Structures are given as structure tokens and as C-alpha cells.
Amino acid sequence: MQLVALQMHASSIWADNRCTLASLLEQLPSARPLLVLLPENAVVFGNREAVLSHAEYLGEGPIQAQFSDWAKQHNIWLVVGSMPTHIEHQDAIHATSLVYNEQGQRVGHYHKLHLFDVDVADSQGRYRESDTFSAGEELCLIDSPFGRLGLSICYDLRFAHLYNALREQGAEILLVPAAFTQVTGQAHWQPLLQARAIENQCYVIAAGLVGEQGSRPTWGHSMIIDPWGEIKASLATGSGLVTCPLDSAHLMNIRRQMPVAEHARFSTTWRNK
């Protein structure tokens, strides 16, 4: 079994991003089964108007149909890092991660819980995701041939209790698609990812956007980290694939030898709705 994080530069135009994704997916390793994670904003990376123009209802629209087709064509489990989705009966959208199995069936989705409303010392300066998106309300875990997948998106990475809750509900692989800024990425991206892997004894797959769109520079540095916190593969800059074999026995050995989940004196209070 192989894990893949795809790193790319994205624009505000889906047709361009579709071409980039198609080219990179053609470079996938031949081993199957294969779990492929795309970055946050792989569909559209731009201003509010661009994002709204690409929003689809869950299960409807040509963008989702394309991802389903790619999953079938390449015989892969494909995780779309995020795309804008309409909220039924509301004038609002979510940033949504979508999971497709090798038959092209959507087997789960996750609406981003934590919205990036912060000030950063970069060329953009002010980020307000809540001007465009509504926050999600639920955790998402998905059973797969690779183990139980725990979903998250970008800014979620800073909230350890989210990942603790995913681990309590059986997560073995944590997915972190992102468009981290260069400033925050250089400071915190790698240590946060390693911390989430170590404290939860999970594989972490982190797929990032790279390069600059308008005034927003992104960090890249996609990587796959094992449950001991070791970086098994990474790509600092440029578009490409980060690949790593999945060693489930290694994960189980770490958890057996250091059973931190059993030793924990505190538990999250999160409840699925």
C-alpha cells in the first residue's frame, strides 16, 4: 500500500488546475492500492468571486464528476483537499474535503471546522475565511483499505483537540491538505505536523499548495510522517508527488510499545452530531 501527497501551484481558474492535476496524476506510482491526497484549494485558489463561481452542491456538478472519473481511471482512493460546496437552503458555502474510492464513489466528506481569520506579516496581511465560508460542525472518519482516515483542512492543524478526537474514534491516518502561508509555514508547519503524528501515533499525510496566487504566497513542503514523527518523504518546492509505503505493522508496534491512548487521563468532549 502506498500513500501519496500531491503538491501543486493553483490558480483561480478550474480549467487550468484541472490540467495541472491531470498531468500530476499521470505520474502516480504503479502500486495499488494507492491513497492520494490533493491540497486545499486545488479546485480554485483566488478571491471570493472566483471561489463562489466554482461552488457545487454535494454530489452534483462537473468538478465532482471529474474527481470521480479520476479515481476510477487511476484505480485510486482520491481525497480532494478542499473545494467550495453550497449549503442547502442557505446563502453560504463550506470548504469541503471529498473522499472517493477506487470505484469513483464518494464515501465521505468533511466541512472545514476552523476558519483562518488572522493577520499575517506577508504581502496579503489580512486573511478572513469567514467572509466567504461557513464553518463545519462535525468530525469525519472514513474506513478504508489503508486504515481509518481522519480528515482535516489546513488551519485545523493548530487545534490539537480535533486530532485527539479523531484518534479516540480510531483514526490511523491523519489527512492535512493545506495552503499554508509562507510566513506561518516556515515557522510552524513541520513542527505542528510532527506533533500531530507523535501525540496521536498516526501517519500524517500533508499536501500543500506551493507558489503565489495574487498577493498570497504559499509554503508547499508537502510531506508524509510516520507515527513516530519521522519524515518519510517530502517535497519543499515545485509541483510533484510525495510517496511513501504504508507500514501498518509499524504503527501497531508503536501503539503497543507506548500505549499513550490507554494511559491518557483526559478525554476530548467532542460529540458527533
Average pLDDT over residues 266-271: 62
Angstrom CA distances, 108 to 104, 163, 252, 259, stand at 12, 18, 25, 29
The pLDDT, as a whole number, for residue 86 is 95
CA 162 to chain centre: 14
> Of 108, 103, 104, 60, which is closest to residue 84 (Cα–Cα)?
60
Average pLDDT over residues 107-119: 97
> Of 189, 197, 192, 191, which is closest to residue 229 (Cα–Cα)?
197
Q: Per the residue annotation, which of 56, 112, 129, 140 is the catalytic one?
A: 112
> Of 195, 207, 202, which is closest to residue 159 (Cα–Cα)?
195
- Domain ranges for the chain: 2-263
Average pLDDT over residues 193-217: 94
Q: What DSSP assignment string belongs to the chain?
A: -EEEEEEB---S-HHHHHHHHHHHHTT--S-SSEEEEPPTTSS--S-HHHHHHT-B-TT-SHHHHHHHHHHHHHT-EEEEEEEEEEPTTSS-EEEEEEEE-TTS-EEEEEE--S--EEE-SSSS-EEEGGGTB-------EEEETTEEEEE--GGGGG-HHHHHHHHHTT-SEEEEEE--BHHHIIIIIHHHHHHHHHHHT-EEEEEEBEEEETTEEEE--EEEE-TTS-EEEEE-SSSEEEEEE--HHHHHHHHHHS-HHHH-S--------
Judge whether 20 and 37 are in contact, CB under 8 Å. no
Predicted structure pTM score? 0.96
The pLDDT, as a whole number, for residue 268 is 64
Listed range (15-19, 53-57, 88-92, 138-142) with the worst mean pLDDT: 88-92
Average pLDDT over residues 229-256: 98
CB atoms within 10 A of CB 262: 7
Q: Which CATH number fits domain 2-263: 3.40.1180.10, 2.20.25.570, 3.60.110.10, 3.40.50.720?
A: 3.60.110.10
Pairing relationship of beta strands 117-119 and 231-235 according to DSSP bridges: unpaired
Q: Per the residue annotation, which of 56, 129, 140, 154 is the catalytic one?
A: 154
Please indicate whether residue 154 is annotated as part of the active site: yes
Confidence label for 115 from pLDDT (cuts 50, 70 and 90)? very high
Give the tens place of pLDDT for each residue, 25-50.
Answer: 999 999 999 999 999 999 999 999 99
Average pLDDT over residues 135-149: 97
Q: What is the mean pLDDT of the chain?
A: 95
pLDDT > 80? residue 120: yes
Give the tens place of pLDDT for each residue, 66-105.
Answer: 999 999 999 999 999 999 999 888 878 999 999 999 999 9
Higher-scoring residue by pLDDT: 165, 269:
165
Give the tens place of pLDDT for each residue, 250-259.
Answer: 999 999 999 9
Please indicate whether residue 199 is annotated as part of the active site: no
The pLDDT, as a whole number, for residue 215 is 77
Q: Per the residue annotation, which of 40, 56, 129, 172 is the catalytic one?
A: 40
pLDDT > 60? residue 269: no
Give the tens place of pLDDT for each residue, 160-198.
Answer: 999 999 999 999 999 999 999 999 999 999 999 999 999
Q: Which grid coordinates are listed for 51? A: 471561489
Please indicate whether residue 273 is annotated as part of the active site: no
